[in-house]
Amino acid sequence: KNEVEQSPQNLTAQEGEFITINCSYSVGISALHWLQQHPGGGIVSLFMLSSGKKKHGRLIATINIQEKHSSLHITASHPRDSAVYICAAPNTGNQFYFGTGTSLTVIP
């Protein structure tokens, strides 16, 4: 049983398309993190959110605490957005549960 489920696992998009990645979790969490893992392996934090919506450039993250669901949106996708996007949820004790990641490829 996975405490954090992501979909889709793989996503291919044309440059300029609007992209949505979904994350559902079953644990009680203090916040939810969206991470980006570059093709070289490095991990960068995109968002940490506990309610509502956050926006950074072309990236938007939303969370619905009641439904235990979060989405990451990318507007006007670009080939440089190609990466693995990971949803991670810490429980109230700071133990993290990770989704399996969504591998995004944006084609020019």
Q: Which is nearer to other proteins, 6 or 77 (CB)?
A: 6
> In 10 A of CB 87, how many CB atoms?
26
Residues in touch with other proteins (CB under 8 A)? 30-31, 33, 35, 37, 41-45, 48, 50, 86, 88, 90-91, 93-101
Give the distance from CA 37 to its chain's centroid.
Answer: 11
* Per-residue DSSP letter, 91: B
Nearest-CA neighbor of 94 among 26, 8, 27, 39?
27
Task: Please state, in angstroms and rounded to a whole number, the distance separating the CA atoms of residues 82 and 45.
Answer: 15
Q: Which is nearer to other proteins, 35 or 83 (CB)?
A: 35
Q: How far is the CB of 30 from other proteins (least distance, A)?
A: 5
Q: Which is nearer to other proteins, 88 or 106 (CB)?
A: 88
Q: How far is the CB of 107 from other proteins (least distance, A)?
A: 23
